[in-house]
Amino acid sequence: MTTTAPETEVLAAVFDAAVAADERIEPRDWMPDAYRATLVRQIAQHAHSEIIGMQPEANWITRAPSLRRKAILMAKVQDEAGHGLYLYSAAETLGTGRDELLDKLHAGRQRYSSIFNYPTLTWADVGAIGWLVDGAAITNQVPLCRCSYGPYARAMVRICKEESFHQRQGYELLLTLSRGTEAQHAMAQDAVDRWWWPSLMMFGPPDDESAHSAQSMAWKIKRHSNDELRQRFVDICVPQAESLGLTLPDPDLRWNEARGHYDFGAIDWDEFHEVLRGNGPCNDQRIGQRRTAHENGAWVREAAAAHAAKHGKATA
Amino acid sequence: MTGTDWPLWEVFVRSRRGLSHTHAGSLHAPDAEMALRNARDLYTRRSEGVSIWVVPATAITASSPDEKDPFFEPAADKPYRHPTFYDIPEGVRHL
């Protein structure tokens, strides 16, 4: 299908008007190539983050301190797989298949959130991830429920509903440790100390250095700037930390009456860029394990395909 | 790589009796049976459904995405199909 230049202009005007009117763009609508490419990049990175994010937490399933905690953690890790699949499904509506995206992840050609390149050293890390990492994710994701691209927005609605359980189980876990023995309290505090700053980095670089922000805001893929969301998250976390009986590792953190927000210290963006470049504590391990898991699953996929062929039920 | 040619299935879920099936998303599976099982694991982990349909995506025929398509035009100029088209005197009840 080819369109002439004047036709493209008309289609672009229809697209712009739909976005301006806060209508949703649906898969078969005409959309600018750059809009499609931006969505594929963002949704893929988001999907990859969900499935890579299974690893740091799965690390503790066999060592969960009770059957209750183990069942909760398994359900949470299974949810992360589900979230990845909702998102790959949304990406596929843009004409990019799951296999292509997985290949790119395995080849290191597409990214996932840098937060998952940090190790989970103690059981308390499971709590800190739930409270802080999932909390930051929710802050990022709630506005995405109103994203201009329909399938992405709908996937986010499902995900946000489920993330709420993730965050609350993490908070409850940390609260239990914080109110436990001295050693348990110290373990909880140590986890928060290590996860706080990387969680703030999850919102991405400062607004004046964010490469894609302005265009994404114009297309209503993004609704709020990185710094705005980061501030919202800090403001939410400070009182929550107080209720936990834990402190946040930032000597510059204090209420600013004039701004009506908490001021916080400088983020180490060098660390952020180093981790993005592949030099975080666990980058190689995460991608290595993902590739291995995919290769180890080959026989299951082959068996399923053989079964379908034998029974002739592959109707599509 | 195996699995690249698995068909795409669209998933529809009935959330409770009395409601229609609603589109939930899609997934890949080698056959209908696996598609149903995967759909259960993916879209009903919190009892969101009492019934699931899986439909090969290629089996769906869709209208043009353009809402201003002449296809929908026959309905556009018939306001008399709506009850609000008619003037009824004040005080007339149960109408």
- Give the CATH number for residue B77: 3.10.20.520
Distance from CA of A26 to the nearest CA of B (A): 8
Distance from the Cα of A204 to chain B's closest Cα (Å) equals 29
Query: Would residue B90 count as lying in a domain?
Result: no
Number of separate domains in chain B: 1
Using CA atoms, how far apart are residues A206 and A185, in angstroms rounded to an integer?
Answer: 33
A103 in contact with B, Cβ within 8 Å: yes
Query: Which pLDDT does position A225 carry in this prediction?
Result: 93
In a domain, B3, yes or no: no
pLDDT for B10-55, tens place per residue? 999 999 999 999 999 999 999 999 999 999 999 999 989 999 999 9
pTM attached to this predicted model: 0.91
Task: Assess if residue B93 is contained within a domain.
Answer: no
A85 close to B (CB below 8 A): yes
* ipTM for the whole predicted complex goes beyond 0.90: no
Q: For chain B, list residues whose CB is within 8 angstroms of any CB belonging to chain A.
A: 1-4, 6-9, 25-34, 41-42, 45-46, 56-59, 62, 64-65
pLDDT over 90 at B68, yes or no: no
DSSP letters for chain A: ----HHHHHHHHHHHHHHHHTTPPB-TTS---HHHHHHHHHHHHHHHHHHHHTHHHHHTTGGG-SSHHHHHHHHHHHHHHHHHHHHHHHHHHTTT--HHHHHHHHHTT-S---GGGGS---STHHHHHIIIIIHHHHHHHHGGGGG-SBHHHHHHHHHHHHHHHHHHHHHHHHHHHHHTS-HHHHHHHHHHHHHHHHHHHHTT-S-GGG-SSHHHHHHTTS--S-HHHHHHHHHHHHHHHHHHHT---S-TT-EEETTTTEEE-----HHHHHHIIIIISSSHHHHHHHHHHHHHHTHHHHHHHHHHHHHHT----
Question: What local confidence, expressed as pLDDT, does residue A316 receive?
Answer: 47
Give a yes or no: residue B89 inside a domain: no
Strands A254-256 and B22-28: unpaired
Give domain status of residue B40, yes or no: yes
The pLDDT value recorded for residue B1 is 38
Domain presence at residue B15: yes
For residue B2, is pLDDT > 50?
A: no
Residue B95 lies in a domain: no
Residue B43 sits in which domain range? 8-61+68-81
In a domain, B47, yes or no: yes
Mean pLDDT of each 10-residue bin along chain A, 316 residues long: 75 94 93 96 96 96 97 96 96 93 94 96 98 96 96 96 93 98 98 98 91 88 94 98 98 97 97 93 96 95 91 59
